[in-house]
Amino acid sequence: MGIPMRQAIRVGAYLVKQKLARREKFALTLELEPLFACNLACAGCGKIQHPASTLKQRMPVAQAIAAVEECGAPVVSIAGGEPLMHPEIEVIVDELVKRKKFVYLCTNALLLPRKIDKFRPSPYFAWAVHIDGLEERHDASVCKQGVFAQAVDNVKEVQRRGFRVTTNSTFFTSDTPQSVIEVLEYLNNDLRVDQMMLSPAYAYDKAPDQEHFLGVTETRELFRKVFADGRRKKWRFNHSPLFLDFLEGKVDFQCTAWAIPSYSLYGWQRPCYLMSDGYVGSYQELLADTDWSAYGRGRDPRCANCMAHCGYEPTAVLATMGSLRESIRAVRG
């Protein structure tokens, strides 16, 4: 199973509704950033490069909920920064779960012990823990020793408490097919997380490390080898099969960044979570006033090496829903 059945059914019904309404552009997942502050300084991330005054800000609960309701996305990925640093993060999650939104709270898991009692297990809620390799590789990625061991211990505790746990792993040129296989095997078979998400690193312009981002050819070669020998079918991914085909280079897609919009302290980010060409005050303004034809590989040089899920997973989902064969394949996994 690529995506949980309850979520697949809800998203499928949502897509049918958009088609019947003849909407060409709409939100599938909202990337919600209620803060930029973080308790780590990862080499591949540039979020904490914002001004100190911005890093001190926390989005009010009402503002966060309003953004979700405005765009109507059935899935919300709460990112940052480190969302667990937000003093009312559990209130945001609870309000979204009440609205039956599928919430993924992205975290490095270090603050879980002091925050876990404020959350309740729900089929609409999952932790999305960042794990970018086994111990040595992950600790190097987050630029701090001991983080991997703490994250694993904390994941085991939230699993014991009945929470759904997914992981999100980003891979760079320093990763080899074997190192990727090893971390996926560990997460799937040893840590036994519910599902895994993965993404080739995008050259985020404010990231301290600008030397290890994957290009398209490198990404396809890497994942072709990682998924070889039937391994892909053994792993529990929170991705559509077509997106995994895309990573291997079996299919190619255009970016549909409008389907996973980003809303932060600055407003609605144009055009996507990874690029910043300004901000607007509403999702409808984002849709209407952005020249979407100017973005994507072959259009904007900044997009040349991007294969990130925030641009291409929604394209894969839309292609899946448009094909009976691919829909059956997605259900079977």
> Taking every pair of C-alpha atoms in the chain, what is the biggest distance, in angstroms?
52
Which CA distances in Å does 295 have to 47, 134, 304? Answer: 22, 35, 10
Listed by start position, the domains of the chain span: 5-332
Which residue ranges of the chain lie beneath pLDDT 70? 1-2, 44, 46-48, 202-213, 331-333
| Separation CA 136–CA 165 (nearest Å) | 22
| Separation CA 29–CA 44 (nearest Å) | 23
Contact 261, 290 (CB under 8 A): no
Is residue 221 helix, strand or coil?
A: helix
pLDDT tens-digit map of 59-97:
999 999 999 999 999 999 999 899 999 999 999 999 999
Domain 5-332 has CATH 3.20.20.70: yes
Q: Of 163, 107, 104, which is closest to residue 131 (Cα–Cα)?
A: 107
Contact 167, 187 (CB under 8 A): yes
CA angle 277, 320, 299 (to 5 degrees): 30
Q: For residue 222, with 0-12 CB atoms within 10 Å meaning exposed, 13-18 middle and 19 or more buried, which class applies? A: buried
Which CA distances in Å does 180 have to 50, 200, 237? Answer: 31, 11, 14
Contact 167, 129 (CB under 8 A): yes
Letter for the amino acid at 288?
A: A
Q: Of 287, 261, 282, 286, which is closest to residue 66 (Cα–Cα)?
A: 282
DSSP-assigned letters across all residues of 108-148: -STTHHHHGGG----TTEEEEEE--SSHHHHHHHHT-TTHH
Q: What is the pTM of this model?
A: 0.93
CA 306 to chain centre: 14
CA angle 142, 145, 150 (to 5 degrees): 90
pLDDT at position 234:
95
| Separation CA 12–CA 196 (nearest Å) | 21
Q: Of 100, 80, 138, which is closest to residue 9 (Cα–Cα)?
A: 100
